[in-house]
């Protein structure tokens, strides 16, 4: 087909790409990201969300002197003379269930029946367990006796043992889990300030793609990347919005992108970023309305990973190869979603571990090999998720990976037993 000069330029540009290093690609993206809007959600819906404002204690905790046992509140000094041969008697003047404010002061020789978790009455400085006492009724009055000394403070949790008033409880940027839920509930934070989940449009390109429910057809495959990306978005705390798969047609892609950009915070696509005749995303990002950040990264898999800004929003055009799509998401999209939720550590954690099996497949690009960690004799080892099947096009090993093993672009490989850096993949669910 005869090219006009415009499409010729574009085709040349598609081939002549300037490769950037992974850290450079990451910082070009980071320069475009700011923390998202804040919203308030009911406490029950806050699991997995990122706290937007630091929370300080509005009061001490415990807020009142709390009994740790079912028993009797007394003055410990009264027990100074108590021995196994000498009982000391107390007149019971009150009964304090949980949730009640004691009405009577404890004075020498008196006691109050008290339950676990109830407020210790003024005057008392110890609670003695039920089982340590003897009981009698005399002239309509209840008496208890003790045969041993009791220490001041026994079985009383003092005010502020756990938390002082004004103390910082949870820092902004913390992901809310079980411990944070109990803190927020304890201090009455019924509506929790959190960062909005970034809305992430996901669409796949490729005429070969079938919907999951469709029967197989020759030469075609089911769209697995959209579902993989959906899971990754959820795990990163984003709100995935599925736009399905489109055929390899640049006008269809442009229209889909327009809709996705309008209604979402960022757009992630998979497929069509290489140099093939139908690699429409590769062409689309070169159009003049786009601010291209990069369209080649010195990494494998995922060298064709592309990022651009369109209408002030980030567009990630990830490779169609499942392995490359997975790596591209973890290195570039995940940190973006985390940073949009003000995570102070948005990138994957780096660990130094020992390589389990030697890796000889070197390249002049850095390799990110899907791997799994093994703990043996107190040391962490990493092994490729499956030998010989860590290629870009391989889908099956993604489920067996908990890390990416970083193989630097060196002439020789890395022998078993040598140190390597791995990037730890998150294993938790954001919700
Ligand atoms: N002449 C060249 N050919 C290729 C180059 C190159 O530099 N020169 N780069 C290769 C590399 S590296 C990669 S990676 C792929 C990237 O291709 P694309 O990102 O454009 O992806 P597609 O061509 O659309 O698809 C690649 C592969 O993945 C399958 N695929 C696509 N979408 C999905 C999906 N949603 N779910 C599951 N699988 C999907 C697709 O059927 C292809 O098999 O290009 C190399 N070629
Ligand atoms: O982008 Mo390709 O995955 O480098 O193999």
pLDDT at 10 over 70: no
CATH number for the domain spanning 53: value is 3.90.105.10
Q: Based on the fold, state whether residues 189 and 206 are members of the same structural domain.
A: no
Share of the chain above pLDDT 90, in %: 86
CATH number for the domain spanning 312: value is 3.40.980.10
The average pLDDT across 64-82 equals 97
Q: Residue 141: in which H helix or E strand, if any?
A: strand 141-146
Alpha carbon 174 to its chain's center: 9
Q: Cα of 408 to ligand 1 centre, how many Å?
A: 23
Q: Count CB neighbours of 17 within 10 A.
A: 18
Q: Is residue 331 part of a domain?
A: yes
Q: Based on the fold, state whether residues 115 and 83 are members of the same structural domain.
A: yes
Q: Based on the fold, state whether residues 87 and 18 are members of the same structural domain.
A: no
pLDDT at 2 over 50: no
Q: pTM value? A: 0.87
CATH number for the domain spanning 137: value is 2.170.190.11
Is there an atom of ligand 2 within 6 Å of 303 CB? yes
Give the pLDDT of residue 363: 82
pLDDT at 92 over 90: yes
pLDDT at 14 over 80: no
The average pLDDT across 50-73 equals 96
User: Where does 236-319 have alpha helices with state H?
Assistant: 250-263, 280-284
Give the pLDDT of residue 347: 97
Q: Which range marks the domain in which residue 203 is found?
A: 5-37+197-340
Give the pLDDT of residue 430: 47
Confidence bin at 410 (pLDDT 50/70/90): confident
- Identify the nearest ligand to the CA of 370 by its number: 2
Q: Is residue 245 part of a domain?
A: yes
**DSSP secondary structure letter of residue 331:** I
Q: Cα of 272 to ligand 1 centre, how many Å?
A: 7
Q: Is residue 430 part of a domain?
A: no
- Identify the nearest ligand to the CA of 242 by its number: 1
Give the pLDDT of residue 166: 97
Question: Which of 340, 363, 391 is the last residue before a domain boundary?
Answer: 340
Per-residue pLDDT of 324-338, as tens digits, reads 999 999 999 999 999
Q: Is residue 172 part of a domain?
A: yes
Ligand 2 atom closest to Cα of residue 321: 3
Q: Based on the fold, state whether residues 206 and 319 are members of the same structural domain.
A: yes
Give the pLDDT of residue 6: 47
Q: Based on the fold, state whether residues 368 and 316 are members of the same structural domain.
A: no
Q: Based on the fold, state whether residues 284 and 190 are members of the same structural domain.
A: no
Confidence bin at 3 (pLDDT 50/70/90): very low
Q: Is residue 17 part of a domain?
A: yes
Give the pLDDT of residue 385: 87
The average pLDDT across 101-118 equals 96
The average pLDDT across 232-243 equals 96
**DSSP secondary structure letter of residue 330:** I
Q: Based on the fold, state whether residues 258 and 190 are members of the same structural domain.
A: no
Looking at every residue in the chain, the average pLDDT score rounds to 93
Ligand 1 atom closest to Cα of residue 224: 36
Q: Based on the fold, state whether residues 187 and 203 are members of the same structural domain.
A: no
Domain count for the chain: 4
Q: Based on the fold, state whether residues 287 and 211 are members of the same structural domain.
A: yes
Q: Cα of 318 to ligand 1 centre, how many Å?
A: 9
Is there an atom of ligand 1 within 6 Å of 108 CB? no
Q: Is residue 321 part of a domain?
A: yes
CATH number for the domain spanning 363: value is 2.40.340.10
Give the pLDDT of residue 360: 85
Q: Based on the fold, state whether residues 309 and 388 are members of the same structural domain.
A: no
Q: Is residue 429 part of a domain?
A: no
Q: Is the dihedral of CA 116, 120, 126, 128 positive or negative?
A: negative
- Least reliable range by pLDDT among 38-52, 94-108, 405-419: 405-419
Nearest-angstrom CA–CA distance, 228 and 320: 12
Confidence bin at 388 (pLDDT 50/70/90): low
Q: Based on the fold, state whether residues 111 and 228 are members of the same structural domain.
A: no
Is there an atom of ligand 2 within 6 Å of 324 CB? yes
DSSP string, 67-132: ESSSEEEE-GGGGTT--SS--EEEEEEEEE-TT----S---TTEEEEE-TTPBPPTT--EEEEGGG
pLDDT at 5 over 60: no
Q: Is residue 431 part of a domain?
A: no
Q: Check if the beta carbon of residue 264 is closer than 8 Å to that of residue 296.
A: no
Measured by CA distance, the residue closest to atom 3 of ligand 2 is: 301
Q: What is the ipTM of this complex?
A: 0.97
Q: Based on the fold, state whether residues 18 and 100 are members of the same structural domain.
A: no
């Amino acid at each position: 087909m005869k090219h006009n000069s415009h499409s010729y330029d574009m085709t040349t540009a598609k081939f002549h790409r300037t490769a950037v290093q992974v850290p450079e690609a990451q910082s070009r993206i980071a320069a475009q990201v700011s923390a998202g809007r804040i919203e308030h959600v009911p406490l029950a819906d806050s699991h997995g969300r990122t706290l937007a404002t630091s929370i300080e204690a509005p009061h001490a905790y415990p807020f009142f002197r709390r009994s740790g046992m079912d028993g009797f509140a007394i003055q410990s000094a009264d027990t100074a003379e108590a021995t196994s041969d000498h009982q000391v008697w107390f007149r019971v003047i009150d009964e304090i269930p949980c949730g009640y404010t004691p009405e009577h002061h404890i004075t020498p020789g008196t006691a109050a029946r008290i339950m676990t978790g109830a407020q210790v009455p003024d005057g008392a400085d110890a609670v003695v367990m039920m089982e340590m006492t003897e009981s009698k009724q005399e002239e309509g009055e209840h008496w208890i006796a003790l045969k041993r000394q009791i220490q001041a403070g026994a079985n009383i949790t003092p005010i502020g043992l756990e938390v002082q008033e004004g103390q910082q409880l949870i820092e902004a940027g913390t992901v809310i889990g079980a411990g944070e839920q109990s803190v927020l509930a304890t201090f009455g934070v019924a509506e929790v300030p959190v960062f909005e989940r970034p809305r992430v449009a996901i669409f796949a390109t490729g005429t070969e793609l079938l919907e999951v429910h469709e029967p197989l057809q020759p030469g075609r495959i089911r769209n697995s990347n959209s579902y993989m990306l959906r899971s990754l978005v959820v795990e990163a705390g984003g709100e995935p919005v599925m736009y399905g798969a489109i055929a390899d047609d640049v006008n269809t892609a442009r229209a889909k992108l327009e809709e996705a950009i309008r209604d979402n915070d960022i757009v992630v696509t998979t497929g069509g970023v290489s140099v093939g005749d139908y690699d429409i995303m590769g062409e689309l990002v070169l159009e003049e309305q786009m601010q291209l950040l990069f369209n080649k990264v010195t990494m494998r898999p995922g060298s064709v990973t592309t990022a651009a800004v369109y209408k002030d929003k980030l567009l990630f055009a990830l490779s169609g190869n499942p392995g490359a799509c997975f790596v591209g998401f973890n290195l570039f999209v995940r940190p973006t979603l985390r940073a949009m939720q003000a995570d102070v550590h948005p990138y994957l954690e780096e660990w130094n571990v020992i390589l389990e099996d030697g890796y000889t497949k070197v390249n002049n690009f850095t390799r990110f090999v899907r791997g799994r960690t093994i703990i043996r004799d107190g040391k962490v080892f990493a092994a490729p998720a499956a030998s010989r099947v860590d290629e870009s096009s391989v889908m099956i090993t993604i489920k067996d990976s908990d890390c990416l093993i970083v193989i630097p672009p060196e002439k020789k490989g890395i022998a078993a037993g040598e140190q390597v850096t791995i990037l730890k993949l998150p294993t938790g669910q954001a919700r």
